[in-house]
Amino acid sequence: MALRIVEFFGYEPGDRSAESVDARQNFACPFVGGLCTKELREEDDGTQVISGVCTVRQIKDRVPIVCCPKRLYAAEFQTLREIAATAFEGTLPFCFFGRPQPHARRVVAIGKDFGGEVRLPGVKGLGSFFVDWILALVGNKGTLEQFVAVEVQSIDTTGNYRAERMAYLDSQPFLKNSKAGINWENVNKRILPQLIFKGHVLRLEPLCRSGLFFVCPAPVLDRMKQRVGNALRPYPNFHPGTLTFRSYDLGAPTQEGQLRPLSFREQLTTTVDQLAVAFTAPINLPPQGAYADAIIKKLMDC
């Protein structure tokens, strides 16, 4: 299904404000600062170029879907701050690893650009696993009181939107449809299995008292719930074996030169066991014999 770009270097494609023009000219990310790190592979020679695409929408339903994780860090990592307040039941001083920290009880965020991702304990020969963020509750004397793990996932796209991107870089309108699409199958093949594995590892950690949090665009959570047959029962309390989904939409469009806010939509806390059972259960299956029918149809066309 064809896509259109909704946000380009943080702003709507038709935005002609000084802020938008500056972001495009400098390939800048207005959400976390610095250069945009999202890359797009060129078709002709295979080189990587800066994409600049933060959010897309399918032509049919027009619902914006964030396709760059850093878009979910808007408003000075508000999503992480909200998780810290939720998991640790109160607003505490929040800081990032490597930055000046007061000698007081605080939450320290550890991630890729702030101390590096913390490797999960694993089994030799099975590869390495990381979580995007660790939010560590640190006491007055620098001791670790507890921690929560956070995964942040946008949606992946297939194909490319090269022509649309070039038009917007040249401040030109784009009236066609791109050849890009949404990679929904990535939810089934990669995201859900990794959440289950990481959740099982974290449930062995007594200090991980609130389990694993997963931040994503609202349409991604909708698709996950559809994949498991809406079989996830809400769980009332946090513990090392819980998995909490937090989903976000884009807020209402703003005037030119302003960034659209993120709008929190839903929090769903369940258990890793529930997700594992629901993921492997024989639900949402096609009718019996459907695969044979497809093979027969294919043979008729040869």
Q: Which residue has the tokens 């991604």?
A: 220
- Secondary structure (DSSP) of 212-279: EEEEEEHHHHHHHHHHTTT-----SS--TTEEEEEEEEE-----TT-PPPEEEEEEEEEEHHHHHHHH
Region at 265 (left for phi over 0; alpha for psi -120 to 50; beta for the rest): alpha
Q: What is the pLDDT of residue 258?
A: 94
Q: Which is higher by pLDDT, 140 or 43?
A: 140
Residue 139's alpha-carbon distances to 98, 106, 210, 223, 255, in angstroms, are 17, 7, 17, 39, 43
Region at 97 (left for phi over 0; alpha for psi -120 to 50; beta for the rest): beta
Query: Which residue type is seen at 155?
Result: I
Q: Note the pLDDT tens digit of each residue in 58-82.
A: 888 889 999 999 999 999 999 999 9
Q: What is the pLDDT of residue 299?
A: 86
Instruction: Inform me whether the pLDDT recorded for 94 exceeds 70.
Output: yes
Q: Note the pLDDT tens digit of each residue in 126-164.
A: 666 789 999 999 998 889 999 999 999 999 988 878 888
Q: What is the pLDDT of residue 87?
A: 95
Determine the average pLDDT of the residues in 227-238: 87
Q: Domain boundaries in the chain?
A: 1-68+155-182, 69-153+184-302
Q: What is the pLDDT of residue 229?
A: 80
Q: What is the pLDDT of residue 124?
A: 65
Q: What's the predicted TM-score (pTM) here?
A: 0.90
Residue 5's alpha-carbon distances to 11, 24, 63, 65, 178, in angstroms, are 10, 14, 11, 10, 9
pLDDT band (50, 70, 90) for residue 125: low
- Strands 144-152 and 64-66, by their bridges, are unpaired
Q: Determine contact, residues 253/221, Cβ cutoff 8 Å.
A: no
Instruction: Inform me whether the pLDDT recorded for 86 exceeds 90.
Output: yes
Q: Note the pLDDT tens digit of each residue in 233-258.
A: 889 899 999 999 999 999 988 899 99
Q: Note the pLDDT tens digit of each residue in 279-297.
A: 887 666 778 888 888 888 8
Q: Determine contact, residues 234/269, Cβ cutoff 8 Å.
A: yes
